[in-house]
A and B are shown apart, each in its own frame.
Chain A
Amino acid sequence: MEKMTSPYKWGMVIDLDRCTGCGACVVACQAENNVGLCDKKEIAEGRDMHWLRIERFWVGEYPDVRVRFLPVLCQHCHDAPCEPVCPVYASYHNPDGLNGQVYNRCVGTRYCGNNCPYAVRVFNFYPHDWPKPLDNQLSPDITVRSRGVMEKCTFCVQRIRRAKEEAKGEGRMVRDGEVQPACAQTCPAEAIVFGNMADPQSRVARLSRSPRRFRLLEHLGTHPSVYYLKGGGREHV
């Protein structure tokens, strides 16, 4: 039997000092992953389908007011609260440390979404259709999810797979920076860095050792694979 360990532990670092909150990552994620188009009514009901959102916080009062942005996506926890509650094992952990979701196994109990402290799993409440010829934009690499399943960020697993296959064909490991999810690829300020945490020399592993690092809701003990770096420097508020 093949051993269940892997030389890869995919992880991400988001530098909040670089992030300008511009939203390029949000659209890139939708474009890459066939995320459904939600009209105003659906979003009003809280049934928005974004896999990646930018949280915005107002701190202080005029004129000493500041804004902070926090891109939130699936944190790919090592002790993921969504996994043990899934009755059909649609939510699972893969050897690379990804928190995976098997769409055709999902029966839509939404227990996982209920248990996720980061509110990053989105449920398909409606059938999302792409009016012709808009359906031409759908990526052939990813399934188009139907109504009634839970979906989420996968760190663009289709890109990871391709990179791994290519590397395997050439008999080597995936190089640092060779594979990037759509959000990291497009981020103008290079705030999002993705890579192999298991390689201590990778850029993402080096950044994750920064003294500015923290993880979301760390006290819950979910051990996310996404590290954030706090803003630095002097602040005047």
Chain B
Amino acid sequence: MKRRTFLQLSGMTAAGTVLSGCQSGNEKLIPYLVPPDEGVTPGKADYYASSCRFCPAGCGILVRVSEGRAKKIEGNPAHPVNRGKLCAMGQAVLQELYHPDRVPQPLKRSGPRGSGAFTRISWEESLELLAGQLRALQREKATDRLALVTPQLNGTLVELTTRFMRVFGSPHHLSFDLLGPDWLRTATRRSFGQPGLPWYDVAETRYLLSFGADFVEHHLSPVQYGYAFGRMRQGRDTVRGHFTYVGGRMSLTGASADRWMPARPGSEGALALGMARLILAESLSDAGSLAVNGLQTEKLLRRLEAYDLPRVAEQTGLPQRIIAEVAREFATTRPALAMAGETVAFQSNGPDAVRAVQMLNLLVGNLNRPGGVYPDGGSRVGPENSFTELLSLVAAMRDGRFRVAMIHGDPVHAIPPATGFQEALARVPFIVSFSSLMDDTALQADLILPDHAALESWGDVIPLAGTRDRVIGLMQPVVTPLFDTRQFPDVLMAMADKLGGKTAAFPYQSYQEMLKGTMEKRVGRAARRDFETVWVELLRQGGLFETRQGQEKGYRRAPGSSLPNPAEPRFAGDEKRFPLHLLVYPSIAFYDGRGAPLPWLQQLPDPMTTVVWDSWVEINPRTAAEMGIGFGDLVEVTSPQGAMRLPAVIYPGIRPDMVAIPLGQGHRGMGRYARGRGSNPLVLLALITDGTETRPAWHATRVRLTRISEKGELVTAGHPQGSYRSELIEI
């Protein structure tokens, strides 16, 4: 355009604007070739309430949608779990929706297994393919040769999967999460006779004692506890809550503590009982609480005789003075609160150690009190499968008992290979994956039926131990699906339809309707009359939030429950050949690995090490110096189970006899951002048996290190020690 023409045109436009005067000219200025169907106003964003199901905490979210595209995820201020706050992972769920490597439509394997060669097929064809397999099982009266593997589900989805498997005639539904808190449920049942998970009133407490419970990162409900932690610290006028952390590695949570007690791995239970003994011996315990729970000081003292201070100090490797000081502080500050976490639970003596910590709460009388522990408000409806059930499924798979396996999630990556799951799965003739990204499990599958992304799905999410109230979060699609994908429950329903004769079992047309039906049952009779309005209101606010009306059952010691007595810890691996303890911990960005495909999380510097786009092994400076390992060197970590090479991070906050590796990296698939980054430390984990049950030895495996070269290719976002001198900026 010539300058002259431009000036003429702009002059005309200016005149036009003046002439149109008071009328709103805006609608005329931005014409649409195709008018928007949903009343989209350009430049104006809408917010849709939904729920995050990235981790089991189930926070409420608001999704900002502009011109039909999701732009930003924010916390839902009305949601009782997270109160408008959100963690890094919750923010990044947006990138799951728009991931460039999503599976766009059903895929059928066309090359050898694991080669990644697939051809695109239509939904009709793919559903018929699966139905054919299932029909064959029905014909041969071998319906129990179908296995369903999912993460721990809750809400309506459980109802659906349970009904599907029952109607089909297979009892083999494994719902298993590596990070699921079954251990806490079991311990709580044994201590208090209740299966509910505990809800800790961190905000109101004055002394917090955490035994390896990383509540800021991943323990139960991190956003909820992060919020509570802020309030415990500076939310009250005159009180600043004190925080002591016990654990061999200073985690991100431990970094916020006022005092760090690096107890020897496996000795945490003994430490708790040592503190209990001191509290009882010095009569610092709460007499009322002991009486209510049917305990007598003298009897208890006699039972705890073995846990005298010198012995506990020797077991834990901590000075006697400090143990006694913390025990006295804990008993004399009211309210005080003790929490037990994963690093304690996944020892060989884990179950008893967790119960020992729970007993500390009982001794100082903070059960069912402000600043103490309450049972949570969550209702557990789904099957909860333990590691034992996983092992029996693997054994059955290995024997060739299964013909078809339907898998949701990525167990090939998230289950320790020591269980033999990966090899056993290879013996299943027909594997169906519902992954929306080409993850490690999907790579092994014969058929991929891609699920919607979370932001395209319907669903209900029952938050895990995040409140004392009953909360059911709702998920609704905030955008129209990007690809030709279908929601997992809808596929199950379509399958039931195809198999025929059983359609009566599913009186709904779609999962959305089924969800609406269950919500109608949940809201109660009064609200049901005009349910359509109620339903819209529920979707608008993000779920059903009920405050409890005082009918709750508090914690009370289970009658006849024995005193915890943690055994000597045992470790996989001989002390001479494998001199170092290994700790495998969930990374703050990747959880159990599901965060790895999201680039925002990959480039989020790890808060403790500032490492980006990689995994690493943490070594105490003294140990590293002895072995001649420098920052960023490549080292080989060998356990009795396996070996892997990783760059080294010199980490001042870890015991010299310990090394630690974060979970979540080392995917073979999962798209361009995750593929081939770092390594998966689960290959190092051996299994341990404590006589009654076998568990993964997350924290009870021994390893040795060998320096390989100085080329670790480690990239950190900051200087290893921080780019300022801390005294310069006065902190």
B652–A58 CB distance below 8 A: yes
Interface size on B, residues (CB 8 A): 83
State the CA gap A16–B253 with chains docked (Å). 14
B9 within 8 A of A: no
Cβ-defined contact, B715 with A186, below 8 A:
no
Q: Report the separation of the CA atoms of residues A129 and B97 in the bound assembly, to the nearest whole angstrom.
A: 17
CB distance from A71 to the nearest CB of B (A): 11
B470 nearest CB across to chain A (Å): 23
Q: Which of B229-261 contact A (CB under 8 A)?
A: 229-231, 233-234, 240, 242, 250, 252-253, 255-256, 258-260
Q: Please, which residues of chain B bring their CB within 8 A of the CB of A190?
A: 85, 227, 230-231
Q: Knowing A22-B88, A55-B722, say if A137 contacts B260 (CB, 8 Å).
A: no
* B234 pairs with A18, CB closer than 8 A: yes
Report how many residues on chain A are interfacial, defined by Cβ distance under 8 Å: 72
* Residue A199 at the chain B interface, CB threshold 8 Å: no
B409 shortest CB reach to chain A, Å: 23
Option from A23, A61, A140, A235 in Cβ contact (under 8 Å) with B71 = A140
Beyond A134-B100, A137-B71, A228-B731, whether A22 also contacts B226 by CB under 8 A is yes
Which of A18, A22, A140 meets B67, CB within 8 Å?
A: A140
Cβ contacts under 8 Å, A169 to chain B:
none
Q: A22-B217, A26-B88, A133-B100 are in contact. Are A233 and B717 (CB under 8 A)?
A: no
**Chain B residues with Cβ under 8 A from A62's Cβ?**
262, 620-622, 652-656
Q: Please, what's the 1-or-0 string for B11-49, where 1 marks a CB less than 8 Å from any CB in chain A? A: 000000000000000000000000000000001000000
With beta carbons under 8 angstroms apart, the residue of A21, A23, A24 that contacts B255 is A21
The reply to whether B67 and A31 contact each other, CB–CB distance below 8 Å, is no
Residues of A within 8 A of B259 (CB): 236
Q: Which of B73, B97, B240 contacts A233 (CB 8 A)?
A: B240
- For residues 685 through 715 of chain B, which have their beta carbon under 8 Å from a beta carbon of chain A? 715
Q: Decide yes or no whether B549 CB sits under 8 A from chain A.
A: no
Chain A residues with CB below 8 A from B482, complex form: 133
Contacts of A173 in B (CB 8 A): none
Taking CB atoms and an 8 Å cut-off, the chain B residues in 651-676 that contact chain A are 652-656, 672
Q: Confirm or deny: B603 has a beta carbon within 8 angstroms of a beta carbon on chain A.
A: yes
Task: Indicate whether A217 sits within 8 Å of B728 (C-beta atoms), given known contacts A188-B87, A189-B227.
Answer: yes
B181 within 8 A of A: no
Is A96 positioned at the interface, with any CB of B under 8 Å from its CB?
Answer: no
Which residues of chain A in 209-237 are interfacial with respect to chain B, using CB atoms and an 8 Å cutoff?
A: 214, 216-218, 228-236
The CA of A133 and the CA of B234, in the complex, are separated in Å by 43
Interface residue? B428 (CB, 8 A): no
Contact B43 A50 (CB under 8 A): no
A63 lies within 8 A of chain B by Cβ: yes
Least CB distance, B111 to chain A, in whole angstroms? 25
Query: What is the distance, in angstroms, from B670's C-beta to the closest C-beta of chain A?
Result: 15
Q: What residues of chain A lie closer than 8 Å to B91, measured between beta carbons?
A: 24, 27-28, 31, 186
Contacts of A30 in B (CB 8 A): 600
Residues of B within 8 A of A60 (CB): 652
- Does A56 lie at the interface of the complex (its beta carbon under 8 Å from any beta carbon of B)? yes
Render A157-191 as a binary contact track against B, CB cut-off 8 A, 1 for contact. 00000000000000000000000001001111111
Once the chains are docked, how many angstroms separate the CA of A67 from the CA of B97? 35
Q: Does A32 contact B (CB under 8 A)?
A: yes
Is A102's beta carbon under 8 Å from chain B?
A: no
Say yes or no: A17 contacts B234, CB within 8 Å: yes
- Do residues A68 and B726 form an inter-chain contact, with CB atoms below 8 A? yes
Is B242 a contact of A31 with CB atoms below 8 Å?
no
Knowing A27-B600, A136-B69 are in contact, say whether A59-B726 is a contact too (CB < 8 A): yes
> How far does the Cβ of A40 sit from chain B's closest Cβ, in whole Å?
4
Instruction: Report the bound CA distance from A38 to B612 in whole Å.
Output: 10
* A137 & B723 in contact (Cβ 8 Å cutoff): no
| Of B100, B226, B253, B601, the contact of A188 (CB 8 Å cutoff) | B226
B44 to chain A, nearest CB (A): 10
Q: Could you tell me if B718 and A55 are in contact, using CB atoms closer than 8 angstroms?
A: yes
Evaluate contact between A186 and B600: CB separation under 8 angstroms: no
Whether B88 pairs with A27 at a CB distance below 8 angstroms is yes
| Nearest chain A residue, comparing its CB with the CB of B600 | A27
Are the CB atoms of A40 and B612 closer together than 8 Å? Answer: yes
B614 at interface (Cβ–Cβ under 8 A)? Answer: yes
Contact A23 B240 (CB under 8 A): no
Chain A proximity of B370: nearest CB distance (Å)? 20
B72 within 8 A of A: yes
Which of these, A58, A191, A229, contacts B721 with CB under 8 Å? Answer: A58
- Near A by CB (< 8 A), chain B positions 583-629 give 588-589, 599-601, 603-605, 607-608, 610, 612-614, 620-622
A50: contacting residue among B253, B655, B717, B729, CB under 8 A: B717
Give 12 A-B contacts (CB < 8 Å), ordered by A residue. A20-B229, A21-B256, A23-B604, A37-B603, A54-B605, A56-B608, A65-B652, A131-B100, A131-B672, A188-B86, A188-B226, A228-B731
Closest 3 CB pairs of A and B: A189-B230, A188-B226, A67-B255
